[in-house]
Amino acid sequence: MDLKKNNTFFNLLINSLKSKKGWFLLSTTIIFVTTMLIPYILKADEEFFIFFGIFELFVLVFINCLVDNNFLHNDSKLAYYKSKPVPIAEQMSINIVADIIFTTYLLFLIILSVVFQGLRIEMLEVFKFIIPWLAAGVLLVSLSSILAGNTIMAGTMTIFNFCLPLIIYLVIMFVFSILENIVPGFSSSVLMEYFVNKFYNMEYIYFIKYSEDPVDFIYILLLGTILLGITLLIFKFLRKRKNENTGNLIVFDGYKYFVSVLASLIVPAAFSVMSYDNNVLSKITVSILMALLSYYIIVAIIEKTFKISRLSLKVFAVSFVIFTAATGATIMLANQYKGVVPDIENVKMAYVGNDRYVFNYIDDLDEDILNNRDKFLKWQKERGLILFTDKESIENIADLHRELIKGRDYDYGDYYMNNIVISYLMDDGSVVIRDYNITDSDGADNETKDNLAYDIISSEEMKRNKYFYLYDEENYNSENLYCYVTYTDKEGIAADNVDFDEIREYLIKDVDNQSIDVENAFNAIVFYYYDYAIDKKFYSGYTLQIIDKRIQGEKEDRGVDVINLTGFENTLDYLKLK
């Protein structure tokens, strides 16, 4: 009996493939002309046409799968298939296997084109995520065809289901954006990055990670789990499908409301993420109105009536309560940490400025650089970073952090200010990041914030970090460096071939005595522009260029630092430029 059943399945599969002769011929012609003939004639843009061929492959597979499953959306075709001795489930299996064979054939044509064009074999690396996309896509078209009541809706739902992880990602981002506006110090971007890296890595879900990484056990396990999950859903919903609902846009009420609720969150989520309005109440109100309007429009389209049912309202109300509860729980959890400042004894390194991801840069940093002060300072300079390791400096940053917890009002004056980031790298490798939006408040008392910022900017560690070449005489001397002075506002050289060893003592004296103005020091630290307050003393019109002789290339590529000599009175006296 099993042998006969297997023969029946095989014979039906062969018949299904024979019925696709037209598809095979059309697809072969399209792929051949696009990926082989045209680039061969042009003798150019081979890679572009290969990627265009891959796009065509997706379109051809998508349309072919929809056509194969359109019998589910036509009463007469459905009755015909039900009258056959082969169960609908087996017919679906035959269609899926036939579509996979068709897809494999098209993939082979693309690979043949890559070989024929003599392109880099590395191009085939993209197939490590294209194959999972195609395999999942074939199954998702079948699943969506079962869930939907017509072929157009099946195509739409296929795209929706494929993008479902992205939609969930956006909804989670929506929750974090609400939290960001309610709990000071928390950034939705930072929270989302942490959540994605720890629990919801989109690069793994969509296999993008493997475009560069080799296939491993996780790849096989993840792909197998996804394909098995979709397959189980196909046969589960196929058994429960009520054929009398054929013709409706969506056959299952539960899935209809699932789609409506999730889709209705897309617009307010996008608005919340992109909006820079700091009025929390108005932002939440607008988001609720957008969600309600989107839900009404989607349900009206799906149900083909503008009269919304009581059940639809109940579903929205319940979904709103669940979403509010989840958001509220997240806010309550975050609220416990809003006033927490890390114990400086456990802090390895600290940062203050406007870059949320500064400690991401050192994740893959070689230990030799991280543990070598000179190399680490040079590494910071190359990236325009200043990181603090002295406990005194970290304590100053923590004091500023405590002040921001008390209040974030500051009189901007003539300057625009948005946010300030304070980050700590802990001894255990964890990172604490706080991102505070600064509120422009006319007449606000700036004194405390300016004084605390001044303590950071004028610290000895700041001087050593910012002007490291002045304090490292072994590696930075006249044998390795030379200087020249340019005009700030016009072309030309005011002084050339300045002896660095001679000018060093005057530069250090100016750095030690420059006494950055306390006023607006907080503004300077937010902008990560620590020379800002110096500019208010007097305008010199000269700029000192420091060049490393050991680096090959143009002058602009060999620069160690550029110093605006405004405020550097001793240096200007030495150069006779004052």
DSSP secondary structure of 146-161: HHBSSHHHHHHHHHHH
Say how many C-beta atoms besides its own lie within 10 A of residue 324's C-beta: 12
122-134 residue pLDDT tens: 777 888 999 999 9
pLDDT the model gives residue 571: 87
382-394 residue pLDDT tens: 777 888 989 999 9
Lowest mean pLDDT among 28-32, 266-270, 426-430, 469-473: 469-473
Position with higher pLDDT, 33 vs 514:
33
Tokens of 147: 């869930």
pLDDT the model gives residue 395: 94
Given a contact cutoff of 8 angstroms between Cβ atoms, the answer to whether 155 and 66 are in contact is yes
Q: Which of 578, 463, 563, 576 is nearest to 513 (CA)?
A: 463
- Rounded mean pLDDT of 471-486? 78
Residue matched to tokens 């598809």 = 23
Q: Rounded distance, CA 154 to CA 449, Å?
A: 59
Max CA distance (Å), the chain: 105
pLDDT the model gives residue 5: 53
pTM value is 0.79
Q: What share of the chain is helix, strand, coil (3-state, %, to 5)?
A: 65, 10, 25
Buried b / exposed e across 528-566, counting CB within 10 Å, b at 16+? bebebbbeeeeebebbbbbbbeeeeeeeeebebbebbbb
Domain boundaries, the chain: 1-119, 123-338, 344-466, 470-575
Residue type, 397: I
Confidence of residue 60 (pLDDT cuts 50, 70, 90): very high
Evaluate if residue 346 carries a pLDDT over 90. yes
pLDDT the model gives residue 532: 44
User: Residue 264: helix, strand or coil by DSSP?
Assistant: helix
The separation between the first and the last C-alpha atoms of the chain, rounded to the nearest angstrom, is 104
Confidence of residue 1 (pLDDT cuts 50, 70, 90): very low
Given a contact cutoff of 8 angstroms between Cβ atoms, the answer to whether 428 and 349 are in contact is no
141-157 residue pLDDT tens: 999 999 998 899 999 99
pLDDT the model gives residue 534: 45
Evaluate if residue 106 carries a pLDDT over 70. yes
Say how many C-beta atoms besides its own lie within 10 A of residue 364's C-beta: 6
Q: Rounded distance, CA 291 to CA 268, Å?
A: 6
pLDDT the model gives residue 536: 46
In whole angstroms, what separates CA 194 from the centre of its chain? 11
Lowest mean pLDDT among 191-200, 402-411, 549-558: 549-558
Residue type, 50: I
Q: Could you tell me the CA-to-CA distances from 447 to 199, 421, 440, 453 in Å, in that order?
A: 43, 20, 15, 10
416-448 residue pLDDT tens: 667 889 999 998 888 899 998 888 777 777 888
pLDDT the model gives residue 66: 93
